[in-house]
Chain A
Amino acid sequence: MRLSDLPKGASAVVERVEDSHPDDLIAQRLRDLGFVEGEQVRLVARGPIGADPLLVQIGSTRFALRRAEAARVSVRAQEVA
């Protein structure tokens, strides 16, 4: 499942960030910002137009990601504790 498919308010665990093309700087950036295996993420909010961008919380940080950016992150859905 992709981070961009996560319903609003749902939590998930990051599996990996996939490069959408060779030498993908956006993917590298996501990994630097902490989107690495085992991290828990939560979809906090979605933009008002076309449900884009997405607001994703990872650790204590909230990042706004466009759908195409979030689609690089594959996640495992997780029940909210």
Chain B
Amino acid sequence: MSADTLRIALVGNPNCGKTALFNQLTGGRQKVANYAGVTVERKEGRFTAPSGRVLQILDLPGTYSFDAASPDEQITRDVLEGNYPGEAAPDLIVCVADATNLRLHLRFVLEVKRLGRPVVLALNMMDTARRRGIEIDVPELQRRLGLPVVETIAVKRGGARALIERVDGEVPEAAPAQPDDPISRADLHAQVRELLAATVRMPRATDALDDALDRWALHPVFGLMILAVVMFLVFQAVYSFGKPMSDLIGDGFDWLGAQLGVWLPEGPLRGLLKDGICTGLGTVLGFLPEILVLFFFILTLEESGYLPRAAFLLDRLMLGVGLTGRSFIPLLSSFACAIPGIMGTRSIQDPRDRLTTILVAPLMTCSARLPVYALLIGAFIPMHRVLGIFNLQGLVLFALYVAGIGGAMLVGWVIKHLHRDRSEHALLMELPAYRMPQPRDVAIGLYERSAIFLKRLTGVILALTILMWFISTFPSPPAGATGPAIDYSIAGYLGRGLQYIFAPLGFNWQISLSLIPAFAARETAVAALATVYAVAGGDAQGSGLAHALTTNFSLASALSLLVWFAFAPQCMSTLAVIRRETNSWRNVAISFSYMFAVAYAASLITYQVTRLFL
């Protein structure tokens, strides 16, 4: 470490505004990774202080106490004490506390102080505290605590100035370390009460506005209605804002492909760029807007404090199927993509509840399945009106979403009853104060998520698109061959091989073949079919592909394929995330095989039954 770099660790209770403060300090210069071997996120950023000194800031997970009830707490403690392997002890600890909730947060401040390391206390959300008429005698608090205390407003530009000045100055002296035992632990509450009595005057324990909002948001009837309306609006927005942008991207790639067709000479290179990359990648990249719109709403709801309310309303329902109210947020994210959903299960502290959530998350209809659904529904389901107001295509799409949710509930219930561990698992969830979501924090969250998606796209999906193009082009048909060229390619042989397994489900070899890249990333099934049919029959883009499908297989096959995609084993990246998040190949195997079995059975029934009636 160079002499002019200062290592700072940010700690604090959950909901103290620590991440907003971190964003304020470091802006976009953040590095998000994992602590080795565990699922706890490690966020680090840096910025240069006015003195020219580089401050390296580590954002530790939000923690209520050092009791080590969860891996987060254990790691936070180890890092602060310098006991975490490969992680140098911080030069300075910045403990963040919500000025409007000091009764809870000061206890943790005292716990941190007892570690015997240099600490600065940042009283955050001072603006809210003032608005609510909370008076804090900062000099007295500083004197009694024996720590430097600064005021911050993480959500306001320049709101961290006092903190920057303080940490840029001299490192404060550490208080002597104190032993950690149950008796002194119980004593902490008494100390907090004393501190509060001497330094804080609060006209009202909670914000009157919050209480009023909660009377509606948590009302047994209106609360559920509000939740339903919020969910409905979110999904409407995904279609009305996201879809046009997605179409624009798709059209852009089609145009690019057409231009390449004009400029490049006939040959393998033109085939690769036009049929392989433009058609395949364009289809997939087209999803980014929809994913971003969904994440925008999830992040906004999260920032506003509404999501824990939703978890409160749904806890009992989720408990019945072996989940917890906390599962709601990760499962909701899984409608965009199971990867951030599974990553989001980190907020579930209980390992059993967390694993169940991870196992059912891929059953939520992720946006990657939408192009497959859109293509098949558009091609096979007529635009009938049902009961005068509903559209049959929309109803089928809705039914597929319901099938996913119903499947998840059933699987959760089965896991609950198979599990040997029947002990009680806690909810114990804090409902934070409502907050106006901050554009910067939402923007940083969106940036992080789109980076994950694009990384996946440019890596795995691009490679697979090229591979698909390759195996469906080579080897070239022998001279004098009569059938379509693709019949002689590697893809043709592979597809015909797989057909033996999938024929009972009504899949032809092209579909069977497209299931291979679909396993890598579901959305590529459409790209793969587009590539296969483009190679086989010239124009097969857009409506052309739908037409190619209707002439090539039956309605029963199409329904069976839709059902397959509702339950089929999730994409490779999801399995990789499950491996990373649970540290176990066994969970990956369980996840893959149960979904394969469910999908196979459901598709088999769908195909065999519909064949009898249609």
Which B residues are CB-close (under 8 A) to A52?
A: 315-316
Interface-located stretch among B96-104, B258-266, B391-399, B501-509: B96-104
The answer to whether A29 and B312 have CB atoms under 8 Å apart is no
- Residue with the highest number of chain A CB atoms closer than 10 Å, among B101, B107, B221, B312: B312
Q: Which of B75-83, B358-366, B423-431 contacts A (4 or more CB under 8 A)?
A: B423-431
Q: Are B427 and A64 in contact (CB under 8 A)?
A: yes
Q: Are B312 and A59 in contact (CB under 8 A)?
A: no
| Binding-face segment, B62-70, B455-463, B490-498 | B62-70
Contact status A62-B316, CB under 8 Å: no
- Which of B65, B102, B186, B202 is A36 in contact with, Cβ under 8 Å? B186
Contact of B103 among A29, A44, A60 (CB under 8 A): A60
**The one of A31, A48, A60, A64 that contacts B104, using a Cβ cutoff of 8 Å:** A60
Partner of B427, one of A20, A32, A53, A58: A53
A10 at the interface (CB under 8 A from B): no
C-alpha spacing A41/B424, complex, angstroms = 24
Q: How large is the interface on B (under 10, 10 to 19, 20 to 34, 35 or more residues)?
A: 35 or more
A64, B315: Cβ atoms closer than 8 Å: yes
Contact A64 B431 (CB under 8 A): yes
Q: Interface readout for A25-39 with B: 1 if CB under 8 Å, 0 if not?
A: 110111111101001
List CB contacts (< 8 Å) of A17-75 with chain B. 20, 25-26, 28-34, 36, 39, 44-50, 52-53, 55, 57-66, 68-69
> Of A33, A55, A57, which is within 8 A of B428 by CB?
A33
* A25 contacts across to B, CB distance below 8 A: 69, 426
Docked complex: B404-463 residues within 8 A CB-CB of A: 424, 426-431
Kindly supply a per-residue 1/0 record for chain B positions 44-67, scoring 1 wherever the CB is within 8 Å of any chain A CB and 0 otherwise: 000000000000000000001101
- Selected contact of B315 from candidates A53, A63, A68, CB within 8 Å: A53
Task: Using CB atoms, name the residue of chain B closest to A47.
Answer: B316
A64 and B312 contacting across the interface, CB-CB below 8 Å: yes
A30: chain B residues within 8 A (beta carbon): 428
Question: Are B64's CB and A63's CB within 8 A?
Answer: no
Q: Would A55 and B103 count as touching, CB distance under 8 A? A: no
Q: Which residues does chain A contribute within 8 Å of B316, judged by CB atoms?
A: 47-50, 52-53
**A21 CB to nearest B CB, Å:** 9
For B429, the closest partner residue in chain A by CB is: A64
Determine if B330 is an interface residue (Cβ-Cβ < 8 Å). Answer: no
Q: How far is the CB of A28 from chain B (nearest CB, A)?
A: 6
Contact flags (1/0) for B310-336 with A, using CB distance below 8 Å? Answer: 011101110100000100000000000
- Contact indicator A44/B101 (Cβ below 8 Å): no
Interchain CB contact under 8 A, A29 and B220: no
Kindly list chain A residues whose C-beta atoms are within 8 Å of the C-beta of B103.
34, 58-61
Q: Let me know if B168 is at the binding interface, CB within 8 A.
A: no
Q: Which of B100, B312, B427 has the most CB of A within 10 A?
A: B427
User: Is B548 an interface position by the 8 A CB rule?
Assistant: no
B485 interface residue (CB < 8 Å to A): no
B425 to chain A, nearest CB (A): 9
| Distance A32 CA – B107 CA, assembled complex (angstroms) | 9
B69, B100, B220, B315: which contacts A66 (Cβ < 8 A)? B315
* B211 partner residues in chain A, CB cutoff 8 A: 44
B556 CB to nearest chain A CB (Å): 39
Complex Cα spacing A79 to B428, Å: 26
Q: Are A63 and B429 in contact (CB under 8 A)?
A: yes
Interface residue? B7 (CB, 8 A): no
Q: Which residues in A have their C-beta under 8 angstroms from that of B340?
A: none
Q: Is B205 an interface residue (CB 8 A)?
A: yes
Instruction: Enumerate B181-233 residues with CB–CB distance to A below 8 Å.
Output: 186, 189, 202, 205-206, 211, 214-215, 218-221, 223-224
Contact A47 B206 (CB under 8 A): no
Which residues does chain B contribute within 8 Å of A57, judged by CB atoms?
Answer: 205-206
Contact A61 B430 (CB under 8 A): yes
Contact assessment for A49 and B426 in the assembled complex, using a CB-CB cutoff below 8 Å: no
In the complex, A20 Cα to B425 Cα: how many Å? 13
B118 cross-chain contacts in A, Cβ below 8 A = none
Q: List 19 A-B contacts (CB under 8 A).
A: A25-B426, A29-B67, A29-B69, A33-B64, A36-B189, A46-B220, A47-B220, A48-B220, A53-B315, A53-B427, A55-B431, A57-B205, A58-B103, A59-B103, A60-B102, A60-B104, A61-B430, A62-B214, A64-B308
Chain A interface residues (CB < 8 Å from chain B): 20, 25-26, 28-34, 36, 39, 44-50, 52-53, 55, 57-66, 68-69
Q: A47-B316, A59-B205, A60-B102 given. 12 additional CB < 8 A pairs?
A: A28-B69, A36-B189, A45-B214, A52-B316, A60-B103, A62-B214, A63-B429, A64-B315, A65-B427, A66-B319, A66-B426, A69-B426
Query: Considering the complex of A and B, which 5 residue pairs feature the smallest CB-CB distances, nearest first?
Result: A59-B103, A48-B220, A49-B316, A32-B65, A62-B431
